[in-house]
Structure formats: C-alpha cells, structure tokens
Amino acid sequence: MQPYWSTHFMLPGQQHAQAQAVSEALEHAREGIAELAGCESFEVVFTGGGTEANNLAILGVLSDQPVGHVLYSCLEHESVLGPLERLTRLGWEIEPVPCGANGIIDTVKVDQMIRPDTRLMCLQAANAVVGTIQPVRQVADICHSRGVVLHSDATQVFGKMPIDVTQLRADTVSISGHKFYGPKGSGALYVRRGLKLAAITYGEPREMGLRPGAENIPGCVGLGAAAMLAQRCCVDAADKLAEMRDKMIEDLRQQVPGGITVLCEAAERLPNTLAIELPADTSRLQESARQLAISTPQSSSPPDEMTRVLRSIGRSEQQACRTMRISLGWTTSSEQLSRAVKLIAAAYDGR
C-alpha cells in the first residue's frame, strides 16, 4: 500500500501518464479479489467496507423497482437490517425468515414465504456469532426459480474459507477487508454480470458507475493483497483453526467446572468463530479475567447482534448472559488458547 500514498499519488482516469500505474494497481487488486471469489474482475466493485457493500446491494438492487416485499434471514447483521428498515419507511414490507436451534435458516420456509411481489432475499453466508454456514446455494436456487434476487453478506466467510460465487449463485456478495487482514475502510461488492444495480451515492462515474468519488487506492491495493494471500493460505489456515478450535472446546469441557455448551455444535460452522455457554454469568469472567478479549451480548435497547442471534436460535435471556463468543485468528497460538482456557476455568472454579 505504501507507494500509493507517496510516489503513486495520482488517481486512475487522470490524463497524465503517471496515473496509468495507479489504474493498473487498482485493476490488479480487483483481479486478486475476483480470483478468490471465482468471478470476473468487472463483477467486483470496491466500496468503503462491508456496511457500504450491504447498503449498495440492497438499496441499489431495489432502487428503481416498484415497492414490494423483501425477505431476510433472522440472523443478519445491522448493516443488512439498516437498509431494510430504511426500505420500510419507503413503503416496502420486510419479513424475517426464522432459523432452527441449529442456527441454520429454514429453506422450506423461504420457499413458503416468497410472494409474487418479493423482490429480494438477504441471506448471510455465515453467522458472525455462532459461526453457522448458511445454505446460500439452495436458497439462491429457490429464489431464482421464483424471480427473486439473492444478496449474500459473506463478510464472515470471504478470505477465511474458500468461496466461489458462481457456486454460491448469489446475485450480490459483500466482502469486508478488515475481516481477513485487509485494511479497515476497504470492502467490495460482487455484482453478478447482467444484474441491474444503481449507485446509492452520486458524483463522478467511477467503479463502473456504481460508486463515485476518488478511490481509496491504498485501501483497494491492500484488499487485493489480502485476497491474494488468502487465496494461497486460507485452506491451510482454516484447517489449522478448526483443529485449534476443537482442541479448545475439548479443553474447556475438561477444565471448566460445570462444563460448557457449544452453540450450534452439530451444524457446519466457520473454523474461527465459537459461541460458548458457560456454567454461570459471564460477568464473572469479565471480573476475574479482564485480559481476555471476548464478546458477550449487550441486550440493552436496541439489542446487539449477539443478543438477536441468541434469541433467534431460541436461547433464553439467562442463557444469553452465560454466553461468550471467541474468535480465533491466523496468529492465535495454541499457547494463547491454553492460557485462555485456564483463565476461563479458574473464573468458574468454586462456583
């Protein structure tokens, strides 16, 4: 990224020869993302992050369509719910598709809930809280057979596990840079060729007319580099993460007095995301093991993503208070996990 702040400070599309090098770097980055996504580079639009990508997909697809009905999974992130709530103010009807206790969306329900005026379905590729991988392909096939566009927020999956948008068959797929070691403030949207999509901000036509304004060149270059890195190592990294995760679960089961419950354990899950129910309230953990950086639900109004997801899979408020989410990263070591297990076990010792 460094050269694009200093020597190559031009913007693509400018007239001078120096701008050409910048255009090439941008297109190279786009190709890196396209390769990891399994699409053509002209199907990749750079955005300022996953939130903007979700907004662009949802509001951009429905922009010029008559008011109608939208389905979304009950497990979606705020950046999907936000634009959907915006749509309700414009007269759209939005309706959540429930999921089972296994944290996976019910495909039969999707089929039942589609109406003649349903124009869009939103289904994340995987859940950020419990890690469950969603049946995007099956839902895409159902949607397409009924003339419904499918948007998939893949920010939790892209760069962490192999993903092929042509297999996934979603019409739009959101990508977030900082979720797989790319720079913050970077993201992209896969837009299937031929899909009608309008920009949601306006100005100089850039990014195939879908996103105006000077490109964040270092950010795009960094995102492309992260994609190329993930392309090389995400399979190995995912295997290693799954192994470490399973070892952690085993250790927690053995060492935590009272035992633990892994949420949605039977479902296919992300290798790095783990939601665990402890024998007692997590406040105990936050008091005695402050050096642990874990997530716990914030049920204050509006409830956070974790609270919403736990409710959707049927956990009670009491159970939610005992739940923590752990994320592993490429740099997480077995030693760190052993230490974390010890800290958690100690917190619940003598309960």
Q: Which residues contribute to the site for a copy of itself (CB under 8 A)?
A: 4-5, 9-11, 14-18, 48-52, 54-55, 77-83, 85-86, 176, 178, 183-186, 200-204, 212-219, 290, 293-296
**C-beta of 4 vs 72, nearer to a copy of itself:** 4
What is the rounded distance in angstroms from the CA atom of residue 85 to the CA atom of residue 92? 9
Q: Spell out the residues 6+ positions from residue 260 whose beta carbon is closer than 8 angstroms to its own.
A: 249, 252, 253, 276, 277, 278, 279
**C-beta of 204 vs 243, nearer to a copy of itself:** 204
3-state secondary structure (DSSP) of residue 295: strand
3-state secondary structure (DSSP) of residue 105: strand
**C-beta of 114 vs 307, nearer to a copy of itself:** 307
Identify whether the C-beta of residue 27 lies closer than 8 Å to the C-beta of residue 41.
yes
237: number of CA atoms within 13 Å, CB side?
20
**C-beta of 169 vs 181, nearer to a copy of itself:** 181
3-state secondary structure (DSSP) of residue 278: coil
Pairing of β 69-73 and β 93-97: parallel
- Is the dihedral angle over the CA atoms 43, 44, 45, 49 positive or is it negative? positive
Q: How far is the CB of 86 from a copy of itself (least distance, A)?
A: 5
**C-beta of 40 vs 304, nearer to a copy of itself:** 304
Q: How far is the CB of 177 from a copy of itself (least distance, A)?
A: 9
Q: How far is the CB of 53 from a copy of itself (least distance, A)?
A: 9
Q: How far is the CB of 10 from a copy of itself (least distance, A)?
A: 8
Q: Which two tokens stand for residue 148?
A: 């419904």
For 4-43, letters b (16+ CB in 10 Å) and e give beeebebebeeeeeebeebbebbeebbbbbbebbebeeeb
Q: How far is the CB of 88 from a copy of itself (least distance, A)?
A: 11
**C-beta of 295 vs 338, nearer to a copy of itself:** 295
**C-beta of 116 vs 291, nearer to a copy of itself:** 291
Q: How far is the CB of 319 from a copy of itself (least distance, A)?
A: 19
Q: How far is the CB of 314 from a copy of itself (least distance, A)?
A: 24
Q: Taking Cα atoms as reference points, which of 96, 71, 37, 68 lies closest to residue 230? A: 37
